[in-house]
A and B are shown apart, each in its own frame.
Chain A
């Protein structure tokens, strides 16, 4: 890695390139790659040189050239390992220690990269996790799913809170369809009273949903806040009407492809 960088930096250097280039001026295949970079003037010299010389001549090239060039410029080196490597004692002094030193440097660089990469991976993983944390609740964020919950919960509430003293069975069937769990019992208790009153006073009640807000939606569980308007027709009293508004929170659970009401809490 370090060697390649060095070589790349040094490539545009003047001397040997020109010589090479002169030797292979006609090389037709070479012109393609580098041409745009160096524009027309340098085309002939610049183009053939790196490709042509690069592959076969690369191993010796960095070995020969970097040493003399690198030694004078250790100070500006931004990456310490590189400088250290090339600025190590020259061959004439002790070549074996040079190789060992280089190994150590590369090793240190690899370890540094490893540590930094692991650190970066853990850090960004945690950050992503933190950002996604509130994403457990996709109410409103997932528009389609939110609309589905809102619509089905609304439809369920309309069905179970609307009744006609003439056809109370229909309301009970609706309740069987949309209620599960705790809601079954909660509803049965309140509906027993409503049913008795409806028959006695001949009431027709129509429930509409004024406002429905999905508070939480995660997987197959949802929590919904609903305002319902209830219009009651007193057929025994000259069709007198009254209207009331009620609020409730509804827990809903998705089962068998549709949302069921699992808990009803009046507010």
Chain B
């Protein structure tokens, strides 16, 4: 019985130790930043692909998606120019799609909820029923955390 008590005590101590590592892992700033880094990378990757995707046959839906993945001035601008974009897509019968090749976070301010990224995409843009022409797009991107989700706040193309 004494041996059992000793083992039980050791088990309680072990439980306390692992509990502590759990708590410390949950509160570890570095891990939090790492999770946030992965979150912003995933969200912005999806956002950039969405921003390079439009099909004149359902442009309405695609542009709504543009507005959804952006924030700040960029978001406002897209919302303002919505009709213009719709007309343009319809006029030129635009079909565009994109693939994300590589992206990485260059800066991340966890507290402020801002980040900067670098991204390289393959964009295929076709108009007037012509086959889409693949094009390499090298971008620097700004992102902001809006509530729980990261959104694109700025996109700059680096000259080709």
Cβ–Cβ < 8 Å partners of A185 in chain B: none
Complex Cα gap A247–B127 (Å): 27
Q: Using Cβ atoms and an 8 Å threshold, which residues of chain B touch A140?
A: 33-34, 37, 105, 108
B159's partner among A103, A106, A128, A245 (CB-CB below 8 A) is: A245
Instruction: Find out whether the CB atom of A125 lies under 8 angstroms from the CB atom of B103.
Output: no
Binary contact track B9-29/A, C-beta < 8 Å → 1, others 0:
001101101110110111010
Most buried by B among A139, A226, A229: A139
Most chain B C-beta atoms within 10 Å of own C-beta, residue among A120, A247, A249: A247
Distance (Å) between the CB of B10 and the closest chain A CB?
Answer: 8
Contact sample, A vs B, 29 pairs, CB 8 Å cutoff: A110-B5, A113-B8, A114-B8, A117-B11, A117-B14, A121-B18, A123-B18, A124-B19, A124-B22, A125-B18, A128-B25, A131-B28, A132-B31, A135-B30, A138-B30, A140-B105, A140-B108, A141-B30, A141-B34, A141-B37, A210-B158, A211-B118, A212-B106, A213-B105, A214-B104, A225-B102, A225-B103, A245-B159, A245-B160
Report yes or no: B8 in contact with A131, Cβ–Cβ below 8 A.
no
Chain A residues within 8 Å of B, Cβ to Cβ: 103, 106-107, 110-111, 113-114, 116-118, 120-125, 127-128, 131-132, 134-135, 137-142, 210-215, 224-227, 229, 243-247, 249, 267
| Residues from chain A with Cβ under 8 Å of B8 in the complex | 110-111, 113-114, 117
How many pairs, one residue from A and one from B, have CB atoms within 8 Å of each other in the complex?
140
- A249 cross-chain contacts in B, Cβ below 8 A: 102
